[in-house]
Amino acid sequence: MKPTKELELVMKTLHQTQRSKKQRSLAIAFTIVCSVVSSFAATSSARADDSGDNVNFLIFVADDLNKEYYGCYGNDKTASPVVSQFAKQGMVFDNAFTGMAICSPSRSMLFTGKYPLRNGAFKNHSTVYRDTQTVCHYLQALDYDVILCGKSHVGPNSAFPWTIEMHTEQPAGDPMMYTKSAMPLDQLDEYFASGNKDNKRPFCVMATSYYPHGEHPKKTTFTKDSVAITRFQEDTLENRESEARFNQAVKNGDEEFERALALLDKYELADNTVVIYASDHGRFGKWTVYDRALNVPFVVRWPGVVKAGTRSDALVSFADVLPTMLEVAGSEPDEDLDGKSLVPLLKGQTDSHHEYVYGVMTNQGIINAHVFPGRMIRSKQYKYIRNYNAMEVVERKEKEGKELTAFLRMGAEQHPNVPEEELFDMLEDPYEQNNLAKDPAYQEIKRELKQKLQDWLVAQNDFLKDESNMPILATGKQFRLDLLSHPKNKVKLPPELKNSLDGHKFYIHEK
249-308 tens-digit pLDDT:
999 999 999 999 999 999 999 999 999 999 999 899 889 999 999 999 999 999 999 999
CA–CA gap between residue 98 and residue 282 (Å, rounded) = 10
Q: What is the pLDDT of the chain when averaged over all its residues?
A: 88
Contact 347, 305 (CB under 8 A): yes
**Distances, alpha carbon 155 to alpha carbons 189, 321, 326, 479, 507, in Å:** 26, 19, 21, 18, 20
CA–CA gap between residue 163 and residue 148 (Å, rounded) = 8
CATH architecture of the domain covering 362-497: 2-Layer Sandwich (3.30)
pLDDT number for residue 35:
38
Examine the pLDDT at 212 and tell me if it is beyond 50: yes
What are the residue ranges of helices labelled H in 47-91? 81-87
pLDDT number for residue 25:
40
Catalytic residue among 34, 103, 136, 204: 103
* 178: confidence class by pLDDT, cuts 50, 70, 90: very high
pLDDT number for residue 195:
63
**Domain spans of the chain, in order of start:** 5-46, 56-358, 362-497
CA–CA gap between residue 382 and residue 430 (Å, rounded) = 10
Q: What is the dihedral of CA 48, 43, 188, 73, to 10 degrees?
A: 70
Most confident of 82-91, 186-195, 500-509: 82-91
* 414: confidence class by pLDDT, cuts 50, 70, 90: very high
Nearest to 137 by CA among 160, 165, 106: 160
What are residue 490's DSSP bridge partners?
none
**In the annotation, is 136 catalytic?**
no
CA–CA gap between residue 420 and residue 410 (Å, rounded) = 16
CA–CA gap between residue 490 and residue 391 (Å, rounded) = 14
Examine the pLDDT at 403 and tell me if it is beyond 90: no
Give percent above pLDDT 90 in the chain.
Answer: 72
pLDDT number for residue 294:
97
CATH of domain 56-358: 3.40.720.10
pLDDT number for residue 149:
96
